[in-house]
Amino acid sequence: MKKLLRFAIAGGLGFVVDAGILALLLHATPLGPFLGRLIAIAAAMTVTWLFNRTFTFDRSPHSLAAEGFRYGSVGVTSALVNYGLYSALLLTLPALQPLAAMVFATAASMFLSFFGYSRFVFRSE
């Protein structure tokens, strides 16, 4: 249960980073909601890796490079699901605000990422 709570905290931090960077990029640059979201996701993934590595899961038995590759693999898969849902929502519901689409897509991909991180990245062999 502690892992799930800490994972939720990491996800909350990642969400704040994701939403904050997306909002900043939408306001201050001409990047738009699709390219801006890719940048925001990358920053959020870095924050969640650092938090999860330090507080949520026991250190993996793998080298830092191998752990980072595994985390990135799960993170990219989860991010593709997240980004796909985000894009589909924006394209099918043009009146939907990008941050609202982000909330729905992030909630849907959260379960996939927890399973992948806990079973593939940080699981001791």
Residues of the chain with pLDDT under 50: none
Tokens at residue 122, please? 């940080």
Q: Check: CB of residue 121 under 8 Å from CB of residue 70.
A: yes
How many residues are given for the chain? Answer: 125
pTM: 0.76
For residues 102 and 11, the answer to whether their CB atoms sit within 8 Å is no
pLDDT for res 124? 60
Q: Which pLDDT does position 125 carry in this prediction? A: 57
- d(Cα 36, Cα 49) in Å, to the nearest integer? 20
